[in-house]
Amino acid sequence: MLPRVHDDARPGRGTPPRGRDGAVLGWLAALARVVVPVECAGCGALDLVLCEPCRSALRAPVRRCEADAPRLDRLDGRPPLPVWARASYDGPVRELVAAWKDRGRADLTRVLEEDLGAAVRGLAPVLARAQAGRPLLVVGAPSARAAVRRRGADLVAGLAVAAARALRSAGVAAEARPVLEQRRGGRDQVGLGARARGRNLAGRIHVARGVHLGGRTVVVVDDVLTTGATLAAAVAALERAGARVAAGVVLAATPSPKRANRDDVDGPDGVDHTPDARHGTMGW
């Protein structure tokens, strides 16, 4: 059995209120902007949740990024898991992701889910090749329970739901399920180096009790890829449970200096079309 999650049971989802109630809520929102001014989460510009220049940073061509994450090296001769990133984790993207995760900017949830969904739709032809007669299982990397309580929602689980929805809209059968858990203990990953992140997560990420994944093909979703420690721990747990992990997709990835001169490899569809992205190191 897999735990179920409803695609529309998400913070920020649903039909906006209409009529008098909608007018009242609109007036209250305008009043709130006067009392507590809204500012762009990326650059601080007033009266905007996210300004167009900062939003455009989330629309960079989708790129492969596993080579920049040392903890994704399997050390057994197999190539690392292919991982695609929607944006580079620097500049305004770094600021807005931090605001979303750690400063209560729930108003960014829909924007970020939509942008990740757009990236996944572009990847649909590639990910469809991983199907093995059953819907792809889209799994969010698990967050610590304390972080979920502090944020008021499991933000990464929401990204996974958005990714599965995007795949279905592109004609690829997919479902999102919260099958991974993170045990108590350890510390926040922020500020830890590659080895410290790996030690901090050792044995803490596991598949929930009663979940059977034998024969399932999985795409793992996370918010930010830095060293790859969280993604590697998630992949290891899924593979121990019998799943085949085909790929990872992240909202943003820490850029590598060697990427600075790689702008010419992205095709008109906004997807990295280097040879390894199309053919090699996919493991399918």
Per-residue pLDDT of the chain (284 residues; tens, 9 = 90+): 666 554 544 444 433 444 555 455 445 444 444 455 689 999 999 989 999 999 999 988 999 999 999 889 887 778 899 999 999 999 999 999 999 999 999 999 999 999 999 999 999 999 999 987 899 999 999 988 888 999 999 999 999 999 999 999 999 999 999 999 988 654 454 444 445 444 555 467 999 999 999 999 999 999 999 999 999 999 999 999 999 999 999 999 998 765 544 443 344 344 544 434 333 345 55
What's the start-to-end Cα distance of the chain, in Å?
25
Q: Per-domain residue ranges for the chain?
A: 19-278
Q: How do strand 217-225 and strand 244-253 relate by DSSP bridges?
A: parallel
Q: Per DSSP, what are the bridge partners of residue 248?
A: 83, 220
**Cα atoms found within 13 Å of the Cα of residue 70, Cβ hemisphere only:** 7
Which two structure tokens, joined as six digits, stand for 210?
A: 């009663």
pLDDT value of position 68: 92
Residue keyed to tokens 């944020």 = 151
pLDDT value of position 88: 95
> Which is nearest to 114 in space by CA: 153, 172, 52, 162?
162
pLDDT value of position 12: 43
pLDDT value of position 33: 47
CA distance 195 to 182: 19
